[in-house]
Structure 1
Amino acid sequence: MPFLFHELPGEVRNQILRLLLTHSTPIITCSCNQLAPPKPTNLGLTPHILLSSRRTYHEGLTILYGENTFQAHPSYLTDTVFAMDPTRKVISKLCVSMIRRFHIRVRRDCDPYYKSEDVRRVFSRAEGLEVEVFRASWGCGGYDALEGFSHVRGVKKAKVHGSVGNEFAKWLEAVMESGVGTRTLQFETSEERYDDR
């Protein structure tokens, strides 16, 4: 007898699709003192399952784009989103709208190319947001490049790491995880602004 995938209960189908369409390995980026883009790697995904039927396509698409972490572009945010290989961008607006987990690398010693309002609009209410901070040399650059992220709210799980002080990272994570519309206290500037040991 042929195996009829669609006769399985929905929960079982979703479990199978998650095994084929999601990855648990973290996004691998270059080290903080390298400016080259990350190298593509094989995530072990099997997106060909989406071609088996229209029903599988629609069920699997939300899992593929909604449950994986995608790299947001450091300048264009979600206008240029990719999984691992920057040359293979997600170009479908429908697919981009399904993405709920982001990773972004922010260079601390440069002015950002985006506005604070854009950061708030794009990343608020995300399921996951990882902000990896780096800079070209030690001791330069304040937290101005991260100012836009202090307006983000409603993130389910935020993580800030890299060339950033521990107190500031914890404060920014708490701010981004606070409820939408919540007002928070500004971060108190201290020596930590430049001392990231």
Structure 2
Amino acid sequence: MQNLSFLDLPGEIRNQIYIDVLILPPIFARRQLGGDPPIYPQILRVCKQVHEEAKQILYGGNVFIAHPNLLNGWPRLRWKYDTISSQNVIAYIKRYYLIVRLDCDPNFTAENAEKAFSGIEELTIRVEQAEFRGSDYQVLKLFEGVRGVKKTKVYGSVTGFPRYCEWLQDVMRTPKEVGVTDFEKSEELGAMKLWDDFGR
């Protein structure tokens, strides 16, 4: 009986093996004690074919942390890992997690955000600010030009503008060729009045 090599396995089985050894839970997912499970990127060194197959899953299937200023430049898989500088590798990354501070001036433009994230598979924006309801959503408006993202989530310190965040999520999922309706700020103000009345 002839011995089978790894490459003799059907492609779908190899892909499942790659997923098992290369994919981490999203950074925003609840973790078990002990943190993330280990991954084994060493599998990419087996041979050229395995490298080509596995890198698409390692970089295309994981959620990477976007750089706070460079966005999709110098991403990293986790804070403990080195940043990625190769543009050839970055081109495979289609899922990003970005922390946006509302109480700091952003070091990127709306054009930067549109170019970095339009058309990707997934974009999760975690909103932070030092003081509860201390800032509005002006910084988030930089993402209004992002289009065609398959899965979006804006969460965190968004108590003052939940409807805007819902609108922004929808906008970022909208195909580029489809027009969008401007956000009506009066809707948010009405919602916030209810919140203020409730808090009295």
Q: Give the TM-score of the pair, scaled to structure 2.
A: 0.85
Unaligned 5+ runs, structure 1: 30-40
Partner of 1:151: 145
Q: Which has the higher contact order (CA 8 A, sep 6+)?
A: 1
- List 4+ stretches of structure 1 deviating above 6 A: 193-197
Match of 1:178 among 171, 174, 178: 174
Instruction: Tell me the secondary structure at the aligned position of residue 78 of structure 2.
Output: coil
Task: Map 1:5-24 to 2 at 5 A.
Answer: 5-23=6-24
| Ranges in structure 2 where 5+ consecutive residues have no aligned partner | 30-34
Q: What is the deviation of 1:85?
A: 2.0
TM-superposed CA distance for 1:84, in Å, is 0.7
Identity %: 34
Quote how far apart the aligned CAs of 1:166 are. Answer: 2.2
Paired residues, number: 185
Task: Give the TM-score of the pair, scaled to structure 1.
Answer: 0.86
Select the residue among 127, 130, 136 that pairs with 2:124.
130
CA distance in 1 between partners of 2:78 and 2:11 (Å): 30
Q: Which of 50, 56, 59 is equivalent to 2:53? A: 59
Q: Counterpart of 1:73?
A: 67
Q: Following the alignment from structure 1 to structure 2, what is the Cα–Cα distance between the partners of residues 43 and 178?
A: 34
CA distance in 2, matches of 1:193, 1:116: 27
Is the CA contact (8 Å cut-off) linking 2:66 and 2:96 kept in structure 1?
Answer: yes
1:65-121 residue CA offsets vs partner (Å, 9 max, x unmatched): 000000001111111201112661012111111000000000012221101001001
Q: 2:44 aligns with which of 47, 50, 60?
A: 50
Q: How does 1:79-118 map to 2 (within 5 A)?
A: 79-85=73-79, 88-118=82-112
- Does residue 163 of structure 2 align to residue 167 of structure 1? yes
Q: For residues 90 and 119 of structure 1, do their structure 2 counterparts lie closer, same or farther at Cα, with a shift above 3 Å needed?
A: same
Listed one character per residue, the Cα deviations across residues 104-163 of structure 1 (whole Å, up to 9, x for unaligned) are 000012221101001001100010000100101122221111112111110000011011
Structure 2 CA distance, aligned partners of 1:103 and 1:139? Answer: 22
CA contact (8 A) 2:26 2:62 kept: no
Mark the structure with the bigger radius of gyration.
Answer: 2
Q: Secondary structure at the match of 2:73?
A: strand
Instruction: Tell me how far apart the structure 2 counterparts of residues 122 and 56 of structure 1 sit (CA, whole Å).
Output: 28
Considering only aligned residues, what root-mean-square deviation do their CA atoms show, in Å? Answer: 2.2
